[in-house]
Amino acid sequence: MTVEQQSYDRVWNFSAGPGALPQPVLEQVRDELLNWHGAGMGIMEMSHRGKEFMSVLEQTEADLRALMGIPANYKVLFLQGGATQQFAEIPLNLLAGRSADHLVTGSWSKKAYKEAQRVASQAGGSARLAGSSEAGGFVGLPAAGTLDFDPKAAYFHLCTNETIHGVEVFDDALIDAVPAGVPVVADMSSHILSRPMDVSRYGLIYAGAQKNIGPSGITLVIVRDDLLGHAPATLPTVMDYKVMADNDSMLNTPPTFAIYIAGLVFQWLKGLGGLAAMEARNAEKAGLLYDFIDASGGFYRNPVEKSARSRMNVPFVLTDAALDADFLAGAKAAGLSGLKGHKSVGGMRASLYNATPVEGVKALIDYMRDFQARRG
């Protein structure tokens, strides 16, 4: 355990979200909580329209743009409601009487598709399935050539990292196959900022904060300018991207503290070398864990096709589910938390977000090796 971890009796936190936050960020938040930069009050006690918070919001957006290389013709919005609210906001803002294609590769893209079907008629539109890997159990991604695209679709929606089944899109072929002129809309909630992304390939990127961005309560939406302004006139005002963009995310009081923490996380990322450095770190972490699982002679197994294995969420099962309870209890005693798999699939799951360094993964592997030696 690192010195930092020991000094607060902190555990290694593999929770899928809300999840671990960088310790230096938490220390700064703690130190500034009652008095931010001599203002005589904390950030969460300040008006969102005062110069202090406005400077925090500006810096936070600027740092995100720099980290991700967001082109100037994209708006950056800090919204409320979670990705689940985006499942409705996206069709309501973007359909404008047309159909939208959906790729279903896991629980989240399935929910997004269902919600689009639910609300589409309010925007005079509809939702359509372009492809699904559900029949195979969500253990991989369909080949780009097997998808059934509508060249007139208002947009094509996918989830580029599915947390429950641990499936991540790495191959550009999937995005490249989308017909020209159809904007790509991606739920990047669980892997945004884990590696560089070419934002210009997307019409809209969205992400709930509570994995790599900050605490829950903030939803990031990065949206290309030309997609704004087509929402129905009866859409709730807070759900209209154009209105929120025109008001710099401050039509009403935003979650100021969550935005502030996101800003500190972005500065921490910059200090570590940005997204390229994160990619190297995350590839190493995930590589170590998958290699260990694959070399365990079947004691641990991960079912996902190798090319689609998520670096952020590593689900695995034990050879005998009867060992699960002891595995988790032993892990907890060893200072490894949040390993229980999602209830819909059972088993185990280690989430390896940016805030967890390679030492955490090594500690997990040490425990898993030891558990296998004792119980295998």
Cβ closest to a second copy, residue 20 vs residue 308:
20
- Considering only residues 133 through 152, tell me which ones interact with a second copy, judged by CB under 8 A: none
Residue 253 assigned as binding residue = yes
> Is 84 known as a binding-site position?
yes
Q: Is 59 in the site for a second copy (CB under 8 A)?
A: no
Nearest in space to 188 (alpha carbons), one of 268, 73, 70, 300: 70
Residues between 96 and 115 with contacts to a second copy, criterion CB under 8 A: 115
Catalytic residue flag (residue 187): yes
CA torsion through residues 86, 91, 94, 96, sign = negative
- Does 296 bind a second copy (CB under 8 A)? Our answer is no
Run of H or E including 12: strand 12-13
Q: Is 23 annotated as a binding residue?
A: no
Does position 216 interact with a second copy (CB under 8 A)? The reply is: yes
Smallest gap from residue 48 Cβ to a second copy (A): 7
Amino acid identity, residue 212? N
Which positions from 317 to 356 touch a second copy by CB under 8 A, shown as an x/- string?
Answer: ------------------x-xx------------------
H-helix segments, the chain: 3-7, 23-32, 51-68, 82-94, 107-119, 173-176, 241-246, 256-271, 274-294, 324-333, 358-375
Which 221-240 residues touch a second copy, going by CB under 8 A? 233-239
Q: What is the CA radius of gyration of the chain?
A: 21
Region label for 264, one of left (φ > 0), alpha (ψ between -120 and 50) or beta (otherwise)? alpha
Pairing, β 99-104 against β 161-162? unpaired
Q: For a second copy, what does the binding mask look like between residues 245 and 264, x meaning CB under 8 A? A: ------xxxxxxxx--x---
Least distance from a second copy to the Cβ atom of residue 87, Å? 8
Could you say which residues in the range 5-24 bind a second copy, by CB under 8 A? Answer: 8-11, 13, 15-21, 23
Burial pattern 229-244, b for ≥16 Cβ within 10 A else e, equals ebbeeebeeebbbbbb
- Residue 94 makes contact with a second copy by CB under 8 A: no
Q: Which amino acid is at 308?
A: A
Q: Which of 84, 126, 296, 319 binds a second copy (CB under 8 A)?
A: 84
308 vs 352, beta carbon nearer a second copy: 352
Residue 29 sits in the site that holds a second copy (CB under 8 A): yes
Closer by beta carbon to a second copy, 35 or else 200: 35
Is 211 annotated as catalytic?
A: yes
Q: Which of 12, 36, 101, 187 is catalytic?
A: 187
Q: Is 171 a catalytic residue?
A: no
Could you say whether residue 287 binds a second copy (CB under 8 A)?
Answer: no
83 among the known binding-site residues?
yes
Was 302 annotated as part of a binding site? no
Q: Are 217 and 258 in contact (CB under 8 A)?
A: yes
> Exposure pattern of 281-308 as b/e (b: 16+ CB <10 Å)?
bbeebbebbbebbeebeebbebbbeeeb
**Cβ-contact 188, 312 below 8 angstroms:** no
Binding residues for pyridoxal 5'-phosphate: 83-84, 108, 163, 187, 210, 252-253
Active site residues: 108, 187, 211
